[in-house]
Structure 1
Amino acid sequence: MREPPGPREQLRARARATPDRRAAVFLDDRGAETAELTYGGLLGRARILAARLGEHVRPGDRALLVFAPGLEFLVAFYGCLEACVIAVPVPPPRRGGDLQRGTRHVLADAEPAVVLADTATARGLVDLGPTVLTVGLEEAFIGSADSLDDGPADPAAVAFLQYTSGSTSLPKGVMVTHRNLAANQQMITHGFGQDEHSPIVGWAPLFHDQGLIGNVLQPLGVGSTAVLMSPATFVRRPLAWPEAVSRYRARSSGGPDFAFATAAAAAERHGLPEGLDLRCWRVAFDGAEPVRASTLRRFAAAFAPAGFAAEALHPCYGLAEATLLVTGSRPGRAPRLLDVDPAGLAAGRVVPTAPARGLDSDTDRSTWPGLEDRGADGLGRNGTGTVRTLVGSGEVPPGAGLRIVDPESGRECPEGMVGEIRVHGPHVTAGYWRRPDATADAYGTGRELRTGDLGALVEGELYVVGRRSDLIVARGRNHHPSDIEATVAAAHPALGQAGPATVAAFGLADEEGGAERVVVVAELRPDREGPDHTVITTAVRAAVLREHDVALAGVVLTRRGVLPRTSSGKIQRRAAREIHLGGGFPAPPR
């Protein structure tokens, strides 16, 4: 069977067919275009850079990519593909020029032969060790690329190393091959229904898989346009995101769950921008962290006046070890919501209390009579007690495989039973860079990826319920930290109801090594640091006891921004636990 083309061959084909078509544009904080690349211009610059790389490295060497947000990253990444050099994207330095701790670990682990950086960033990288080459958009055509190999890339060769976020351990370099990229791009194209008329708007960092694969390689692979902006733009002005979708008539755009909650909160606070038209937005993919029904409802309601349709919401599930996408909702079908019994879930079973429904029918009270309005934690009450709403993460795309397996026995679980999510197919990556033991543990002998995530299949839909390594066992029951964190975030306005990303829940073994004691650390909103802390902690304890039957051993309130996070913003629960056991977290102002 003929191998599908990877990103290198796709760019070459697009540059030949439509050299003057815009491949990518970059927007500033105001939404103005500050840079653009055509398909022909991008390929030309990438090949000149590849020729420069040939003077310093050999095929198979690594190149560290350290870039501030901008289109220079695209030239560097495709230049590495053209030179058969393994790209290693990392976050740019913090303010002041300090590299992040994870980047220094990557530098030692990947042993790059060269560093590629934009001009401004390169000034602070002279002491790294490897040769630093600057990449700009204006001078990239200086030189000749005649010495380059014009043949196709080896499908089995590693295209780049995607270092994991390090939320549970030190980052590991996932070896993503050209074949992995080609296979996963086909799955995304099928699942999203994309073509050359499907611009994508993205603000996720390009050193992460969602930003690189979802927002760059995917639109360029189908011959469309990538409309990019800095993550800082979204943080400062969340409505810049839907504004760009409206302006460029983007079919697809998305991000983590917190982004949808943040944008909805901004719309509720400031109102919708004048002239906003989101009827074009057909795939609003929500992934990279737990997807909450309350977020989906809130976003759909906030942007419905601009023509946004609830059926455009597209919950999905993926991870770097499977390149990116594992499952996704069907385009044009509203997300699946399933009310389940929390006690059954704690025992490892998905026990529905009502049939699965779509978000667009969520206001139909006849499907769950007597149920009161749910809070931001997704919990509500009906005549039989508390229920939890799970959000479906979609179905397995063609060419991929997924099983739910008992992690202890290895036996496949029947429908509705919770087990470890395991994935197989051509998108499952080649393992971890120079980590044979970790590769064997995660990928096994049959190349079936053990994700470490827990979930269940119900009528072909995947419902993700937590992460195995983060499970808290209290009073003989399993508790997923994300559930407790969501409950805490909704317990008091001072904790911020936009999402549980400001709360960490973890377990501490008791003195006799038995049941775990549960502790939560919660950041206070900057504008809400005046309320009585006793009132807040009492509300938190009451909410967790009511919804999870867990008496918290500790509630720690702290300042905003001090919980340890990965470079993608995920809370590092283990690191939070160590800080709690060590010096503790700083108290918030009173």
Structure 2
Amino acid sequence: MRPGTLLPDVLRGRAALEPERTAYVFVNERAEETGRLTYGGLHARALAVAGELSRACEPGDRALLVFPQCLDFVVAYLGCLYARVVAVPVHPPHRDGVQDSTRRIVDDCEPAAVLTLEAMARELRAALTSPRGAMSWIPVDRIPAGPAPTGIHTAGIHTVDVHAAGLDPTAVEPMDLDPADIAFLQYTSGSTSDPKGVMVSHGNLAANQEMIRRAFGHDRDSTVVGWAPFFHDQGLIGNVLQPLYAGATCVLMSPTAFIRWPMLWLSLISRYRAHTSGGPNFAFEACVARAARGGVPDLDLSCWKVAFNGAEPVRHDTLRRFAETFAPHGFDERALYPCYGLAEATLLVTGSEKGRGARVIEAATEDLREGRYTPVPAGRGSTLVGSGVLPRDSALRIVDPRTGRSLPPDRIGEIWVAGDHVARGYWDRPRESTETFHAEHADDPGRGYLRTGDLGLVVDDELFVVGRLKDLVIIRGRNYYPQDLEHTAQSAHPALRPGGCAAFSVPGADRERLVIVQEVRGEFRRRADPGEVAGAIRAAVVREHQVSVGDLVLTLPGRLQKTTSGKIMRAAARRRYLRDAFDRWTPSTSPSTDPATGLATGPSPSTDNPRERT
């Protein structure tokens, strides 16, 4: 396909040229294939969905996509693209119902239709209403797809091929598209604010898919294995749409299966000889931890050429331990591929170089707190992991957010990005769209830049991301990056839960005070000494960062809210702390504690994160 080809045209072309080539495979938690789609079958089913949408929606209407992790989501999404209906993927409901965030998304985008599974429709009908009135309900799994082709149908697998489908692909033709048309709304995960719908156009998608293809070195033989949720940009754009764009095969599993059995992820990479797979830093950490507890199955990871690591801060220690743990199983540390991106830029902004491995630098810790980079010998400062090289056909600048001017190479500033992959703005939020997507750079007048809100610096054309502008903790005029404080705190004692810490500041009597909220591992809740645990955290933070903890809250797993990609919602933690609404952990049972949990009684938090409910 020519660079810049829109995704509906990509699918239509692949269905015409290679209709029987496998596009997607779905594998359940028992490592069994439960679904398979060819390019021809996908095209036929997407056209059938487009036909249903054309009777329920006008071009530009929104359609909510509410699915568990399954191939019907892929069919529904591409059906929306064919029909020029704006897809809005959302989190599937939990066991206790539809999330408040989903209701807020419905209120914001006012969908005309809901695409889902027949089994989910009844519950959703009772829980969801649109401000625009009645919505059309389309159970995608009930749209006729015809019998499976002879010789490919096996027990438990429903394979759809265009030659065998009882659909006429010519009955509905994909509508003509303008690259500026909105393809879908990617609602941000709300780590610092309420979710906002990022308007991703067809042109944005095509531009970013080409960036990813070049950066990852993909071709039709580059099999991808993925588990990230489809309603998240990494799962949708990186794992689902990139293989389609490259003409490759994608093997998918659910995020719940990964969280419960991290080794299943690596087993699928080995079994399907995947070229590319990855996830946030915690995914690599989880594999190392599981290997330490239960050993490693029979794996051959020599096929894995791009092990991308993004969506949260990349830890050098995690990369090192992952490479050491899985080197005996064929993993090459040169496959480690840190990258950086965000929904407002569709997905990818920068990526490493294939086959190079991660690049690290050592920086003077004190100077980092002053917003400067000073190189020091290894082991004498803070280790920073590069997030990739500067992109071709786009622009990236490190900017002083107060002046809008570029900073010298040794200074830390806000990351600003420009290019065809930068989205159009936020749905129905013109003021915020102007502020975020159309920032004026003093040294580059006439070109609008995306203000990412992330802090970083560029060293030898490599981007190093150091934190979030809004999350920055400032104590006595010194800058502290919360992810560094959190890493120190959760590593201070074996009773503390990795990935369960939030650091932020609150006003004190005469200055800002540092607050750390840390979850305790469930298996330690009865037997750990709170005084010992708290002392270990306080001592570690003072030793590593030369700052005292103003208040330390110890609580049980799941009390900190996270985004869909596993990031701690620090702003939500800060608001909850100021309401004095955190349950304080105590291992003893007393009249003020719940005898079933050992937890001080108090309000129960809500969360939209499936990881916290597993």
> 2:242: which partner in 1?
218
CA distance in 2, matches of 1:389, 1:539: 23
For residue 502 of structure 1, give the secondary structure of its aligned residue in structure 2.
strand
What is the correspondence of 1:161-560 to structure 2 with a 5 Å cutoff?
A: 161-274=185-298, 276-354=299-377, 368=378, 371=379, 382=380, 387-444=381-438, 446-496=447-497, 499=498, 501-512=499-510, 515-529=511-525, 530-560=527-557
User: What TM-score comes out, normalization by structure 1 length?
Assistant: 0.92
Alpha-carbon separation, structure 2, partners of 1:589 and 1:240: 35
Q: 1:435 to 1:140 in 2, by over 3 A?
A: farther
1:21-36 paired onto structure 2 within 5 Å: 21-36=21-36
Quote the residue 1:52 is aligned against.
52
Determine the structure 1 residue equivalent to 2:86: 86
Larger CA deviation: 76-85 vs 390-399 = 390-399
CA drift of 1:146 comes to 4.5
Contact 1:495 1:525 in 2 (8 A): yes
- Secondary structure of the equivalent of 2:583? coil
* Partner of residue 116, structure 2: 117
Q: CA deviation at 1:411?
A: 1.2
Using the TM superposition, give the Cα deviation of residue 589 of structure 1 relative to its aligned residue in structure 2, in angstroms.
4.7
Cα deviation digits, residues 389-437 of structure 1 (max 9, x gap): 0000011222121000011111101112100000000000100000001
Shift of the 55–137 alpha-carbon distance from structure 1 to 2, 3 Å rule, reads: closer
Equivalent-residue separation in structure 2 for 1:6 and 1:559 (angstroms): 47
Q: What code does the residue aligned with 1:199 have?
A: T
The equivalent residue for 1:358 is: none
C-alpha distance in structure 2 between counterparts of 1:310 and 1:568, whole Å: 24
Report the Cα offset of residue 41 of structure 1: 0.3
Within 2, Cα distance between the matches of 1:411 and 1:228? 43
The one-letter amino acid of 1:435's match is: R
Contact 1:51 1:144 in 2 (8 A): no
Residues 211 and 571 from structure 1, CA distance in 2 versus in 1: closer, same or farther, beyond 3 angstroms?
A: same
Task: Deviation per CA, 1:198-226: give whole Å up to 9, x if none.
Answer: 11000000011100010010001111111
* Aligned partner letter, 2:468: R
Query: Shift of residue 526 of structure 1?
Result: 1.0
Letter in 1 for 2:478: R
Aligned mates of 1:297, 1:104 — CA distance in 2:
42
User: Secondary structure, in 3 states, of the residue corresponding to 1:116?
Assistant: strand
Q: For each residue in 1:493-526, what CA deviation from the matched residue of structure 2 results, as whole angstroms up to 9, or x when unmatched? A: 1113xx4x200001001234xx310000000111
Q: Assess if the C-alpha contact under 8 Å between 2:84 and 2:175 holds in 1.
A: no
Letter matched to residue 400 of structure 2: D
SS in 2 for 1:136: helix
State the SS of the aligned residue for 1:574.
helix
2:338 maps to a residue whose letter is: P
Task: Identify unmatched segments of 5+ residues in structure 1.
Answer: 355-367, 372-381
Contact 1:49 1:140 in 2 (8 A): no
Change (3 A) 1:412 1:74: same
The answer as to whether partners of 1:23 and 1:224 remain within 8 angstroms in 2 is yes
How big is the shift at 1:461? 0.5
The answer to whether the Cα contact below 8 Å between 2:201 and 2:423 also exists between their aligned partners in 1 is: yes
Please show how residues 3-152 of structure 1 align to structure 2 within 5 Å. Answer: 4-96=4-96, 98-127=97-126, 128-129=128-129, 130-136=135-141, 139-140=144-145, 146=170, 148-150=172-174, 152=176
Q: For the Cα contact (< 8 Å) 1:175–1:430, is it kept in 2?
A: yes
| Contact persistence 1:83–1:148 (CA under 8 A) | no
Name the residue aligned to 1:360: none
- Structure 2 portions without partners, runs of 5+: 130-134, 147-165, 440-446, 588-614
Q: For the Cα contact (< 8 Å) 2:455–2:469, is it kept in 1?
A: yes
- How many pairs were matched up? 553
**What SS class does the counterpart of residue 125 from structure 2 fall into?**
coil
Distance 1:3 1:190, change over 3 A: closer
Shift of the alpha carbon at 1:80? 0.2
* Partner of residue 154, structure 2: none
Q: Secondary structure at the match of 1:183?
A: helix
Q: Which amino acid counterpart does residue 123 of structure 1 have in structure 2?
A: R
Mapped partners of 1:323, 1:410: distance in 2: 23
CA RMSD of aligned residues (A): 1.4
Alignment check: 8 A CA contact 1:125 1:132 kept: no
Q: Aligned partners of 1:3, 1:24: CA distance in 2, in Å?
A: 22
Q: Match of 2:426, as an amino acid?
A: Y
* 1:24-58 per-position Cα deviation (integer Å, ceiling 9, x unaligned): 01001011100110000000000011001111111
| Structure 1 residue 588, shift from structure 2 partner | 2.7
- Whole-angstrom CA distance in 2 between matches of 1:54 and 1:469: 43
* Pairwise CA distance, 1:568: 2.7
TM-score calculated relative to the size of structure 2: 0.88
Letter in 1 for 2:348: L
Instruction: Name the SS of the counterpart of 1:175 in structure 2.
Output: strand
Kept in 2: contact 1:565–1:571 (CA 8 A): yes
Change in CA separation of 1:131 and 1:589 when aligned onto 2, cut-off 3 Å: farther
Deviation string, structure 1 residues 554-576 (Cα, Å, up to 9, x no partner):
11100101111223322111111
CA shift for structure 1 position 123? 2.5
Residue identity over aligned pairs, in percent, reads 52
